[in-house]
Homo-oligomer: A and B are copies of this chain.
Amino acid sequence: MRQTNTDPSEIWAQSLDTLLVAAWARLQRGVRDKRAAARHVTLATLGRDGWPQARIVVLRGAEKDASVLEVHTDLRSAKIAELQADPRAMLHAWDPRAHLQIRAEVRAEILSGPLVAARWDRVPEGSRMAYGSTPAPGQPIADALAYTKRPNAQDFAVVHLHVQAFDLVHLGADHRRARFERADGWTGQWLAP
């Protein structure tokens, strides 16, 4: 016989609607709050040689109505080349306090140049150092510090991640898992966890 042991503070995990709302709320908090669990999320892509790749990115936007997440990177980074070759990716977040795993199947749209000039103007001076190093990110160098950083708007890329599906897992007293798809209007389907 199964028992239902749900922590009342996590009652949001009990229905499909509120589970999805909770996931978006966690993502949006990651955008606003540097200390939130979903501030640093993992972006998985297909490497150019076919090897799966994953790395930490800072979550810069989460628009529930449009189902779009946003991250920024150097236009010359490996992840951009990978997404240009295959725009399918997964954004993954694990929130230990909420006991919530968020897995988003996304399609990447890469924006740069004049399209992101207004966004660049809002990037703080210190953060601009992340775009425009020489040599380009990932190039071999003779010594650990044999590179220079000079902010360059031409190297600034905004990546819009259009969410196609969510797979959410809540590891509470009971485990719950559900899949939501854009194609069916995000109604959701419970899965065995």
Contact = CB atoms under 8 A, between A and B. Distances in A.
Interface of A: 2, 4, 14, 40, 42, 44-46, 50-56, 86, 88-90, 92, 94, 96, 101, 103, 105, 133-148, 174, 176-178, 189-193
B190 A144 contact: yes
A51 B90 contact: yes
A189 B14 CA distance: 49
B92 A55 contact: yes
- Going nearest first, the 8 A-B pairs with the smallest beta carbon separation are A44-B54, A44-B44, A54-B92, A44-B52, A147-B192, A144-B176, A139-B192, A135-B192
Interface residues of chain A: helix, strand, loop or mixed (majority): strand
A54 B169 CA distance: 13
Given A53-B44, A145-B176, A138 B192 contact: yes
Contacts of A191: 137-141
Nearest to A107: B51
B56 A101 contact: yes
10 contacts: A42-B94, A44-B52, A44-B53, A51-B88, A52-B88, A55-B101, A55-B103, A138-B192, A142-B190, A147-B192
